[in-house]
Structure 1
Amino acid sequence: MRWSRKVSFWEHEITKRQRGKTYTVRWTVESERHREPLRGKVAADTRKAELMTAYARGERFDIESGKPESEVRAESVMDWFAATLQYTETRWPFIGSRQRQSIAEGLSEATLAVLKPSKRRPTDDEIRAALRQWAYAERLHGDDVPERHAETVAWLREHTVDMTAFDDEQTGPLIARGILEALSRRKDGTAASANYANRRRTTVNTFFEYAAEVRLIKTNPLARVSWKRPQSDDTVDPVVVPNAKQIRRLLATVPTHGKLGKRMEAFFAVMAYAGLRPEEVIALHRDNLELPDEETDDGTEFGEFRLRRADTHAPTRFNDDRSKRRSRRRLKHRSEKTVRRVPIEPRLVVQLRRHIAAFGFGPGDRLFVGPQGGVLSTDRVGKVWREIRPHALTEEELTRDLAKVPYNLRHACVSNWLAAGIDPAQVAEWAGHSVETLLEEYVKCLDGNAERAKRRLLQALAEDDDDESEDEAAGEGGGEAV
């Protein structure tokens, strides 16, 4: 729609007919003329007064239909369920499988907070299943409503609030607050983690921004609610980050996990010494890898990863190709054409050469595959890690959740880069972060840097004191003899 506030009103046009006179209300929006014939002068005067009142309130008018915004919106009232279906249709083609899954989960939880009362209400689990499996997933592949969800979907079409309810000054904030409360709880009613709540809040906030953009609502209702977001717990805790000796113990234990473990020693080493995410390691191919010439390498040469894509995993219903669990997408927070370069330090060069000599490249020139040539999944990677940890770590280390997940190896790598004094901008580039995100997530791991900085400052102060003492000594001995 095209909108304008340039509106002009004209006198009624009166037409005599056999059954009486017709009074035509006339006005223009921009240069477009609009007419509305009515029987009777009172009706025409009333209609003109409605239009002029809307104009006096400062409303915009639709150039094509000539109607004020309030009327256009009233004619296009949409309920929450229909609006979320429209929104997911709009977003689906342009986002990856993991983001599709996140949207489905966030909107499903929010929907539970906008339901109209009903005696025949489906259970929360039935509603979640219908939304996550069909409405926000299988439907977007063109699937009809499956029988198991038919009654729930039919009920939802009639029992979610109209989007205009969010514009009401009294009910709007109450409904919005109810959504925020629902997003802050888990299924069992207990408080959700800060990350869980904030991710879902972001998802629903984006939906409301879309709804405001297409004029389903006037403004984003979440902006009118006084709500303190829970403090994010994304900050990396140094307690769970393994040190160099612990990493060596862990990597040495991986090959004991049968045939798959032997193939995954280098996999985990890439995370520990190059800081790649699991989905980035899974996606590595021959052309992403550049190793120094083995004949001339004296053990000090670096190689380089040239990363272009990542293999994400999600339930198949969120993938474009439902025959596969993985979805090959661009790098996180990067454009389609971005190539991220990451150094391969000498000890990792050695491990990668050993891996390639033992196993070669898999189908499609993949660097890491299973014993049968299958593509690895993050679930399978996690399973191997859970099974080797008890054999590599002490009871005390296990109790404090040291290296609980493979991702902690990436944390260790990035922390070591920062501790080595490498410019944070360079570390952020290698890690695939923004500098802001890097410093926010690894702030606790910077404590060592702070201590080193203090020691350097003390050293500098001591040198200044020495210089001052030398100057004083020179001044005392440099005067004229008496």
Structure 2
Amino acid sequence: MGVEPKSRTFSTRALADNFRSDLMQAANRGESFDGDSGLPESMVPPEEAVTWLTFVLRYVDMKWPGAAAKSRDSMTDALATVTGVLVRDVAGRPDAVLLRRALREYELPPAARQLDRPAEIAAALRWLGKASVSLPALAEAAVVRPALDALGLRMDGRPAAASTTRRRRSVFYNVLQYAVELELLDFNPVDKLRVRSTRRKVSGEVDRRVVVNVGQARELLTAVTYVGRRGRNGRRGEWLRAFYACLYFAALRPSEALGLRERDCHLPASGWGLLTVEKSRPSAGKRYTDSGEVHDERGLKHRGESEAREVPIPPELVAILREHIERFGVGADGRLFRSTRGGVVASSTYSRVWEEARMLSLPPERVASPLAGRPYDLRHAGVSLWLNAGLPAPEVAARAGHSVDVLLKVYAKCIDGDRSRLNERIEAALRG
């Protein structure tokens, strides 16, 4: 034991009394006291305490290699949100937006840690290194509860979408579970909390109001050819018409249509054709792809890396694709749809053209409605058309790239076929 007396000053008598009580309890338990600090062993802070920030970086490094670019984006979104909350009260706290940017753009993505950091970013991260709570502190409900609440908020303080909240909390839970796996925490503290939520559960079903009928779909595809900025090959909407047609007639996801190559298309002179869908080009951001490009290159959703699916396509889409290839050609890698510089078409581009087409094709009251509000809604309309045409659910699921149970859950409200005919059956039964 040290020979020099130790002392500590507190701002209030209550705090001093609490500290004295802790010392007395440690002495009564027979704990030995540290000679340098004068504190009982249970109250000596560890020299190399694992902070939340250091552990998060360890978790990211573990998950990054096997994660898709979109998953990396989602992961860093959740961790940037919660890491700014799991901090101690240290002077000099930076602006929340700046702190989030520092984490998302410079600290969390492994490759970005080598980038030169602006002075304000470097200062924000230095502060975070000092203020980040120790990992063992997360065993306390009073620490975890504010973190869970923050994951359900946007930067402006308003509630985030229910799907966003659920996704973020899942990431947070998995990080804590990893700490349990490494025996850095004895248990996952979220398991002991009842998560508060004032939002209704999301069913995941497609809103039938977004689904266009066949006539509306054809009118929108025609309207597309009259909008968009004009270039060497005509209006932008003209060379995107076939892209939108794939979303409707083949029920492709936008990322799947963007990955479609000429060799994937069997387009006979007459009759039905066939698309062999193998690649997907989802937009994620340069920081999250291994290639450093905005769009990742992946296999199909819910399938193996090299597993493809075949989608029979009607003669109408066959003709549209044949015309597109003849007029606009294909890229160096065989892709049907590409930007003016040969890259992958940005989601902002095809979304902007679609907005213009809706305004041209639909009456004002329909423009203000959810009807076909996004290009993705064409896929919903295509799948709904197949179901209501009487195709067996397993066949629709195979063509759309769904499991049967997910298909029926997601499109439950879109399966009606002919409501008036069904109502007539009910009336007949009521008449006896």
**What TM-score do you get using the length of structure 2 for normalisation?**
0.81
Verify the 8 A CA contact 1:263 1:370 in the aligned structure 2. no
Q: Which amino acid aligns with 1:175?
A: V
CA distance in structure 2 between the partners assigned to 1:175 and 1:373 by the alignment: 50
2:94 matched to 1:122? yes
Q: Which has the higher strand share?
A: 1
CA distance in structure 1 between the partners assigned to 2:285 and 2:204 by the alignment: 25
Q: 1:415 aligns with which of 367, 378, 384?
A: 384
Q: Which amino acid aligns with 2:76?
A: A
Q: Which amino acid aligns with 2:266?
A: E
- After superposition, the Cα gap between the structure-2 partners of 1:185 and 1:142, relative to the gap in structure 1 and judged at 3 Å, is closer
Residue 310 of structure 1: CA displacement? 0.6
Q: State the superposition RMSD in angstroms.
A: 2.6
Q: Deviations over 1:315-354 (max 9, x none)?
A: 21222122x2222112122211211211212211121112
2:352 matched to 1:360? no
Residue 177 of structure 1: CA displacement? 2.1
Q: How many residue pairs end up in the alignment? A: 380
| Map of 1:442 onto structure 2 | 411
2:70 matched to 1:98? yes
2:237 matched to 1:261? yes
Q: 1:177 aligns with which of 145, 149, 162?
A: 145
CA distance in structure 1 between the partners assigned to 2:320 and 2:82 by the alignment: 48
Q: 2:260 aligns with which of 265, 274, 284?
A: 284
CA distance in structure 2 between the partners assigned to 1:120 and 1:232 by the alignment: 40
- After superposition, the Cα gap between the structure-2 partners of 1:242 and 1:226, relative to the gap in structure 1 and judged at 3 Å, is same
| Map of 1:54 onto structure 2 | none
Q: Which secondary structure state, in structure 2, belongs to the residue aligned with residue 236 of structure 1?
A: coil
Verify the 8 A CA contact 2:389 2:417 in the aligned structure 1. no
| Map of 1:112 onto structure 2 | 84
- After superposition, the Cα gap between the structure-2 partners of 1:427 and 1:174, relative to the gap in structure 1 and judged at 3 Å, is farther
| Map of 1:204 onto structure 2 | 172
**What TM-score do you get using the length of structure 1 for normalisation?**
0.73
Q: Deviations over 1:136-177 (max 9, x none)?
A: 12x43551561332111111112122221223xxxx223222
Residue 256 of structure 1: CA displacement? 1.1
Q: How does 1:313-392 map to 2 (within 5 A)?
A: 313-322=283-292, 324-392=293-361
Residue 264 of structure 1: CA displacement? 0.9
CA distance in structure 2 between the partners assigned to 1:150 and 1:220 by the alignment: 32
Verify the 8 A CA contact 1:418 1:427 in the aligned structure 2. yes
| Map of 1:477 onto structure 2 | none
- After superposition, the Cα gap between the structure-2 partners of 1:219 and 1:431, relative to the gap in structure 1 and judged at 3 Å, is farther
- After superposition, the Cα gap between the structure-2 partners of 1:113 and 1:440, relative to the gap in structure 1 and judged at 3 Å, is farther
CA distance in structure 2 between the partners assigned to 1:267 and 1:446 by the alignment: 25
- After superposition, the Cα gap between the structure-2 partners of 1:284 and 1:120, relative to the gap in structure 1 and judged at 3 Å, is same
| Map of 1:189 onto structure 2 | 157
Q: 1:80 aligns with which of 45, 48, 52?
A: 52
CA distance in structure 1 between the partners assigned to 2:311 and 2:52 by the alignment: 45
CA distance in structure 1 between the partners assigned to 2:393 and 2:50 by the alignment: 48
Query: What runs of 5+ residues in structure 1 fail to find an aligned partner?
Result: 1-45, 48-73, 466-482
Q: Which amino acid aligns with 2:281?
A: D
- After superposition, the Cα gap between the structure-2 partners of 1:176 and 1:437, relative to the gap in structure 1 and judged at 3 Å, is farther
Residue 211 of structure 1: CA displacement? 2.1
2:251 matched to 1:275? yes
Q: Which amino acid aligns with 1:147?
A: P
CA distance in structure 2 between the partners assigned to 1:412 and 1:256 by the alignment: 22
Query: What runs of 5+ residues in structure 2 fail to find an aligned partner?
Result: 1-29, 32-45
Residue 452 of structure 1: CA displacement? 6.4
Structure with more relative contact order (C-alpha pairs < 8 Å, separation 6 or more): 2
CA distance in structure 2 between the partners assigned to 1:346 and 1:108 by the alignment: 49
Q: Which secondary structure state, in structure 1, belongs to the residue aligned with residue 225 of structure 2?
A: helix
CA distance in structure 1 between the partners assigned to 2:61 and 2:277 by the alignment: 30
Q: 2:117 aligns with which of 126, 142, 146?
A: 146
Residue 435 of structure 1: CA displacement? 2.4
Q: After the TM superposition, which segments of 4 or more aligned residues of structure 1 sit over 4 Å from their partners? A: 74-77, 447-459
Verify the 8 A CA contact 2:206 2:411 in the aligned structure 1. yes
Q: 2:181 aligns with which of 213, 217, 235?
A: 213
